[in-house]
Amino acid sequence: MTYTIERITALIGARRYGRTNASIVFLLTDSRSLCFAEETLFFAIKTMSNDGSRYLSDLYKRGVRNFVVNEVPENYEVLYPNSNFLKVSNTLDALQRLAERHRDEFAIPVIGITGSNGKTMVKEWIYQLLSPSLIVTRSPRSYNSQTGVPLSVWLLTNNTQLGVFEAGISEPGEMDSLRDIIQPTIGILTTIGDAHQENFTSLEEKCNEKLKLFTDSKLLIYNEDDSLVKRCVEQFSFKGQRFSLSRQNEKATLYVSNVLKNNTDSVISYSYKGVEGSYKIPFIDEASIEDSIECLAVGLYLGIDKNAIEERMTSLEPVAMRLEVKEGRHDCTLINDSYNSDINSLDIALDFMSRRPDAKERQRVLILSDIYQTGKPLSQLYSEVSALMKQRGVDQFIGIGPEICAHQDCFQLPNSSFFITVQDFIDSELFSNLRDNIILLKGARRFGFDKITELLVKKVHETTLEVNLSALVQNLNFYRSYLKQDTKLVCMIKANGYGSGAVEVAKTLQDHRVDYLAVAVADEGVALRKHGVTANVMIMNPEMSSFKTIFDYELEPEVYSFRLLEALIEEAEKEGITQCPIHIKLDTGMHRLGFDPIHDMERLISILKKHQNTIIPRSVFSHFVGSDSDNFDDFSAQQFSLFDKASKQLQAAFTHHILRHIDNSAGILHFPDRQLDMCRLGLGLYGINSRDNQIINNVCSLRTTILQMHKIGRNETVGYSRKGTVERETIVAAIPIGYADGLDRRLGNRNCYCLVNGHKAPYLGNICMDVAMIDVTDIPCKEGDSVEIFGDKLPVTVLSDTLGTIPYEVLTSISERVKRVYFQD
């Protein structure tokens, strides 16, 4: 749903500075999550650790024009032209107010879930069980905080038939605002436990605070077997209907008469309104059983067919947990868990570690930070941690943080070490001696555990590829000079940045504010994220198996077929992803990948519309087959007209703006009037103009050095199979580069040459795997001298022309073992 900036100004009672027209679709509080800049309204919220107003100028540079602030920046008309600042006294309140007004628009059932544990699981399972019958909008992941709830509720659209939102609180007084935003008609109270206890004097106080979510609900679902919950619910002044669950009391609204646990599943029998039923779930743990009963209650109450629910129960899927497993250095395996640092999630993580296939044979190490927010006396807490470790078979313990250090006595494990800070640990001998372990890293973000992971994760011949980043930027600017001011740019850094190394190139481009980076596969995108690239990243060739990675790292997949689209939607729903941006590829003539711009559009649009909450088309594009040659101008025109029509048809079905793009590097030069919203710059960035095969600014130079020199007599031969016969006395130089480095074997036997001190030195004989021989007879040189395979003085196109191929192939063939060296001049 779209709101004008005027309407939002009125709804939140703001004072507006700036008079630019704007339609808002997306709300943003974390600048890292920016996606659709033009239609985004950023709330500069101040938290304990950060202040959103720090990111105004960065966001402005990335295209955001609408901001809600406490204070309007001085000189905003000059520093932030064409933007709107909505000034309010409290930006968090404004966000909440806006979500509340948005919620007012909907007269649909809305489920509110609160409790200490199981909220996310119950929410996801309700979704799994009910979404075949109803269009459900739910909180993404566990967005349940004072900012997460309004952002979740904002996702409600006109299509929504049921909303499911979780609410989490950590101190008294927080629930009132969440209730006003969610306005649940149906309430679910899951278990009440220790999490976030420190701000409450008793569990009872916490339970009562949580119940406030349901003051105005029509129905409240709760487990009456929990005496605390039962007591609090009975005392709660509540006009709605109470829906009790029990395994003991036959008079409960939903009575669970039996729970039978098998090896891998459980069968649960119940009666509701005098009707008996039973269902099976593929889980045997108590939490899953309890959660499934709550979900059943919701389904029955909403009048969903009992048999349908029972049937769907059998295929409930586990909710993704945030445990990442990575290969570490020195044969270590890392399990990274930055999920809530509480004792329950520690137990889950330890359990996970103990179930790794090779856990029995290897040392299990736990690295743990101080645990916050339990409300328990610390000595009790850490004694419990110690007991847990013993039970879960931890061999070595490393505690980090002042509290853990102060409670060393609680830890019984003989092999325990303690450090005040992460840095102390990293500097220790212990750290450098970790070998062949399974390491569970469980630490609150604020301790900087990321740094440990970074150092422990695995990282990896004198031939180098020198990459001139200044030249890269000059090429970028050269192509930008053909673009209108507001045309966006995607930079293609697929195939490891056309061979030059994706990470450095990406960082450079990010600094120069390109709108998008594009890589081929998800792993390339992950590599960028791991190296701190925060720009938008498009994945041109997403594998079916990589969707989870794509979500985890906030990458944006290209989608070119129904098969891919449907698989993506399914996975996104399973992971609780909302509004994942995707890029739609149309096949206008390449006949490689893409939807048919005529026959597929209707079906495509209907699927996209139906799943708008899950995925959202960010752009639509196609690719010219021959923009580098005038010979194909007619065909290009035909491609363009097909694309133009189909992309407009797609846009017409949506209210948010969908970026259209078709020009590649050659297209930017040849068809500047077809630049539409965005262009995709590839080869040109790396300095090659594919229209005339000329170098713009050379970026990559492949260099090596002379290893050894020999003088050989007439009629002797060089290399394998005696291919290189010399007709005169010759000086042969061996250089450490071969076909395994990407030096094509067909360049050998004098088909091509390299440069030694500026002179052409032909390749002699067959090029070997790791070494090549060159003729330096008339060239002043010595061992150790530098050799240019291609670069500033020997254009890469000389090699590609010799080989009868294109420069793309030569550049992308340079193997990974060739070290990339970056410089700026």
Ligand X SMILES: *Cc1c(COP(=O)(O)O)cnc(C)c1O
* Contact residues: ligand X, CB under 6 A: 492, 540, 623, 664-666, 680-684, 690
Quote the CA–CA distance of 35 and 539 in Å, as a whole number: 15
Query: Residue 226: which residues within 8 A CB-CB, separation 6 or more?
Result: 191, 192
Q: Tell me 188's DSSP state.
A: E
Quote the CA–CA distance of 334 and 777 in Å, as a whole number: 55
Quote the CA–CA distance of 363 and 332 in Å, as a whole number: 10
Quote the CA–CA distance of 766 and 787 in Å, as a whole number: 18
Name which of 45 and 518 has its Cβ closer to ligand X. 518
Take residue 57 and report the two structure tokens written for it. Answer: 């100028």
DSSP letters of 432-447? HT--SEEEEEE--GGG
The alpha carbon of residue 156 and the mean position of all alpha carbons in its chain are separated, in whole angstroms, by 23
Binding-site annotation: residue ranges for substrate: 592, 769
Q: Which of 358, 529, 346, 553 is nearest to 440 (CA)?
A: 346
Report the C-alpha dihedral over residues 374, 378, 381, 387, rounded to 10 degrees.
160
Q: Are 138 and 152 in contact (CB under 8 A)?
A: yes
Q: Is residue 530 flagged as an active site residue?
A: no
Quote the CA–CA distance of 346 and 359 in Å, as a whole number: 17
Q: Is 303 left (phi over 0), alpha (psi -120 to 50) or beta?
A: left
Q: Is residue 739 flagged as an active site residue?
A: no
- Residue 823's CB: how many other CB atoms inside 10 A? 10
**Secondary structure of residue 666 in the 3-state scheme:** helix
614 to 140, 301, 305, 315, 391: CA distances (angstroms)? 10, 26, 25, 21, 41
| Angle 673-675-680 from CA coordinates, rounded to 5° | 145
- Residue 610's CB: how many other CB atoms inside 10 A? 12
Take residue 722 and report the two structure tokens written for it. Answer: 């005696």
Q: Which of 9, 20, 57, 60 is nearest to 37 (CA)?
A: 60
487 to 84, 668, 679: CA distances (angstroms)? 21, 11, 7
Q: Indicate if the alpha-carbon torsion angle 192, 291, 103, 19 is positive or negative.
A: positive
Q: Are 30 and 42 in contact (CB under 8 A)?
A: no
Contacts made by residues 541-547, CB under 8 angstroms, sequence distance 24+: 542/568, 546/521, 546/522, 547/571, 547/572, 547/575
Binding-site annotation: residue ranges: 592, 769
The alpha carbon of residue 587 and the mean position of all alpha carbons in its chain are separated, in whole angstroms, by 27
E-strand stretches of 190-317: 219-223, 241-246, 254-261, 266-272, 275-281
Take residue 361 and report the two structure tokens written for it. Answer: 């044979």
**Secondary structure of residue 761 in the 3-state scheme:** strand
Quote the CA–CA distance of 477 and 129 in Å, as a whole number: 52
Quote the CA–CA distance of 6 and 23 in Å, as a whole number: 9
> Which residues are part of the catalytic machinery?
494, 720
